[in-house]
Structure 1
Amino acid sequence: MDASPIAHHGRALRAGRFSEPGRTYLLTAVTQRRRPLFHDGRLARSLIAEMRRLHEQRAGLSLAWVVMPDHLHWLVLLDNMPLSRLVLQLKSRSAIAINRIHGTSGRIWQKGFHDRALRHDEDVLTVARYIVANPLRAGLVSHIGDYPWWDAAWL
């Protein structure tokens, strides 16, 4: 397959992205080559620390998230930072921390990210439950309480 349609499609997705303060977004970011980096608790904790830092800086208010072995799902209410910058900050800061922990350098995350703006009438709690149930659906645990890398604002 010719690479140009893929590159064009990627630009089209970015061009159509809309960043609206006060809107809730479901974000997904995937590790480079889907490496299961977050089986290592130190790396999962470093990613979580960066999400919390962005939350504290009011860049985006975390509503729910789950760190899977090779990707992140993050339900966030956009505050004072544009969507693309929020994700760039998270990926950049977490990559620096992860590389520092491993004593390595290089890419941690795949380029880009997936986002879905929730409709104003959409039930945010239902989406949050779907997010935190990912480890159950993936067969990583039989009870969500057994999975350490998730949180929701309602708890």
Structure 2
Amino acid sequence: MPRPLRVSKGGVVYYVLNRANARMTIFEKESDYQAFENLIVEVHERRPIRIIDYWIMPNHWHMVLWPEQDDDLSAFSGCLTMTHTKRWHANHGITGSGHLYQGHSKSFPIQTDRHYYTVCRYVVHNPVRAGLVDRAEKWPWSSVT
């Protein structure tokens, strides 16, 4: 039975994330991060959406996205996740071996300015909380750098 379509309204800012299955590391080396950043650009060209912020962590990624049209969010995040999964499996020689991500990306509408700033602070400080850097600006795999 197919999964019901997710409703994503245009004109609303969303916090979006996806985590690797079993907390496994999916971004291990610089080339993994660079390939995902390139994929963001590639998918953006096919499925345009306003990208406010993104952070790529070793086992997950975060984005703040602002779709213009209804279902732009689903089209972008679905294409990003599916394409990344296929390429990751092919690159690791394990095509068809199972899920890379825990599931579909999760998205949460941001409804107030205060919530927006809270989400952005949370996303920006993620590598600091994880002990990967001492200052958010030092994390190279984000839209800030």
- TM-score of the superposition, structure 2-length normalised? 0.80
1:28 and 1:114 in contact (8 A); partners too? yes
- The equivalent position to 1:101 in structure 2, one of 65, 84, 91, is 91
Aligned length: 140
Name the structure with the higher helix share. Answer: 1
Give 1:34's aligned residue: 23
Give the C-alpha shift of residue 108 in structure 1. 1.6
1:1-155 to 2 correspondences below 5 Å: 17-80=6-69, 82=71, 83-105=73-95, 106=97, 107-122=99-114, 124-152=116-144
Structure 1: distance between partners of 2:70 and 2:83: 15
Give the C-alpha shift of residue 111 in structure 1. 1.3
1:46 and 1:94 in contact (8 A); partners too? no
Change (3 A) 1:94 1:25: same
Amino acid at match of 2:90: R
Structure 1 gaps of 5+ residues are 1-10
Structure 2 gaps of 5+ residues are none
Give 1:7's aligned residue: none
% identity of equivalent residues: 25
1:132 and 1:151 in contact (8 A); partners too? no
2:66 aligns to what SS in structure 1?
A: strand
1:16-36 deviation per Cα after TM superposition (whole angstroms, max 9, x unaligned) = x53111211000101121111
